[in-house]
A and B are shown apart, each in its own frame.
Chain A
């Protein structure tokens, strides 16, 4: 699903964010990306979304060659990826339903699918009865669940989450992880960058640790580790 071969990323200011990184992530995997801030996790995610291009190396995401892809194809790459951020990024003047439907609207999905798909994903995240609420009426955990619903409503092959529990208390974080687990069980690949040691240790999933732009550890059923 994600094939990264010898990828390096050097920013224009000379910062080497990734240094010859090779990672293979298979369909259906659940992968934690751990490492200190500035270690290269964000760059890794930006490369997957093609917000940034690798300086060198090969990268294939969801069957597409990200490096040689023309700009005009980027939207179609992203339609196969669901993204979730630490700060939720919901639109404050749209309701829960509208926020989720927005993701379908902007890719011009058929209208008749919209109602059904949005309701289905709101069921998955347990917010069906709050569909009329505005984000400010929701708790942080609920807002993040709306963001998850928006990320999965177009049925992406990969869900990419950047510190999704970073702003949440432990209990709420577990609710979120529970949802991720269910999404993963349905066959969706999940890549989650996180600082949350408890979650990583408890989930016993594949852990890729990045440090100074290098992969320092890649374990099938790992823990957070001690170095961070």
Chain B
């Protein structure tokens, strides 16, 4: 494309954006809202996946013991566990220590424990660390069967629930996205249709003097892409502050939660959003060009 020609395209694009300012505004708004929602779901799914994989890679089993176990029984259990395959480390956590840890984790909300007074409902436990995540499940099953063991908890049994939730979020998010994308396409193609209509004389003349189809299409395509792009930028900015706010909220209450760091993930999501915006914009233009230009 010649420099002069692209100059012309850009001029035409911004001229008609100004001329349709109202519709341009509405289109940008719809794009921004849709893409924002897309971004929220994207971040949600990414975080869920990350949580799942971090749970999956956990090599620790918490073994809760029955109440009132004698010290010798406890030692038997410990040696039984140690005899299992792939045990890296085993550590005894008495109920008092468990309570202290809980208090620590609760932070500001430590007062919740005050209600318990001197009572401690937490069980004694072992923390068992394995050499590899593959061994966790077999070890946990074996440990659960031992006498005096109440239960053996590990990350993977949470994962199934997590996957179920993630799947739901994906389906719901996808359905919502399809709807929003449809609405966005509709409003963008309407905006472009207005532009095409406003310039139908010009387009007719262009055709008579021998402009190629692509020459005629470009300014409209660009207009759609600019609408999508600007909407995308707004969505990305909003998403950035939304995620930052959410992240600090989550860290306050769930400090252990393995949240995706803003850098570089926000960049990835922003780029995805911008590309999606421009794609939707270009598609919207193409739809109305097909229907109303017949170049």
Contacts and interface: CB of A to CB of B under 8 A. Distances in A.
Interface of A: 49, 71-72, 75-81, 83, 89, 91, 102-103, 105-108, 111, 150, 154
A150 B206 CA distance: 11
Nearest to A80: B210
A106 B211 contact: yes
12 contacts: A75-B211, A75-B212, A76-B210, A103-B209, A106-B209, A106-B210, A106-B216, A107-B209, A107-B211, A108-B5, A108-B215, A154-B210
Given A91-B201, A108-B215, A78 B5 contact: no
B19 to A, nearest CB: 10
A108 B2 contact: yes
B67 interface: no
Residue of B2, B4, B212 contacting most chain A CB atoms (<10 Å) = B212
A79 B207 CA distance: 10
Residue of B2, B4, B204, B209 contacting most chain A CB atoms (<10 Å) = B209
A177 to B, nearest CB: 22
A81 B210 CA distance: 9
Nearest to A73: B212
A182 B215 CA distance: 33
Contacts of A81: 210
B210 A79 contact: yes
Given A89-B201, A91-B201, A91-B202, A72 B213 contact: yes
B205 interface: yes
Interface of B: 2, 4-5, 8, 201-202, 204-213, 215-216
A111 B4 contact: yes
Given A108-B5, A111-B4, A102 B213 contact: no
A46 to B, nearest CB: 11
Given A79-B210, A91-B202, A106 B215 contact: yes
A103 B207 CA distance: 10
Contact of A79 (B204, B209, B213): B209
A89 B204 contact: yes
A156 B229 CA distance: 41
A212 B204 CA distance: 28
A124 B213 CA distance: 31
Nearest to A150: B209
Residue of A75, A77, A105 contacting most chain B CB atoms (<10 Å) = A75
Task: State the majority secondary structure of interface residues on A.
Answer: helix
Nearest to A102: B205
Contacts of A154: 209-210
Nearest to B2: A108
A78 B204 contact: no
Contacts of A89: 201, 204-205
Contacts of B209: 78-79, 83, 102-103, 106-107, 150, 154
B10 to A, nearest CB: 14
A78 B4 contact: no
Residue of B206, B207, B208 contacting most chain A CB atoms (<10 Å) = B208
A72 B207 CA distance: 12
A107 B208 CA distance: 11
A88 to B, nearest CB: 11
Nearest to A77: B210
A107 B210 contact: yes
A75 B5 contact: no
A107 B213 CA distance: 11
Contacts of B215: 106, 108
A79 B202 CA distance: 16
A227 B106 CA distance: 103
Contacts of A83: 208-209
Nearest to A103: B209
B127 to A, nearest CB: 72
A91 B198 CA distance: 12
Contacts of A49: 208
Nearest to A104: B209
Contacts of B202: 91
Contacts of B216: 106
Contacts of B213: 71-72, 75
B207 A78 contact: yes
Contacts of A102: 205, 209
A49 B205 CA distance: 13
A150 B209 CA distance: 9
A78 B210 contact: yes
Contacts of A150: 209
Nearest to B5: A108
Given A75-B211, A106-B209, 15 more contacts: A71-B213, A72-B213, A75-B207, A75-B213, A78-B208, A79-B209, A80-B210, A89-B205, A91-B201, A91-B202, A102-B205, A103-B209, A106-B215, A108-B4, A150-B209
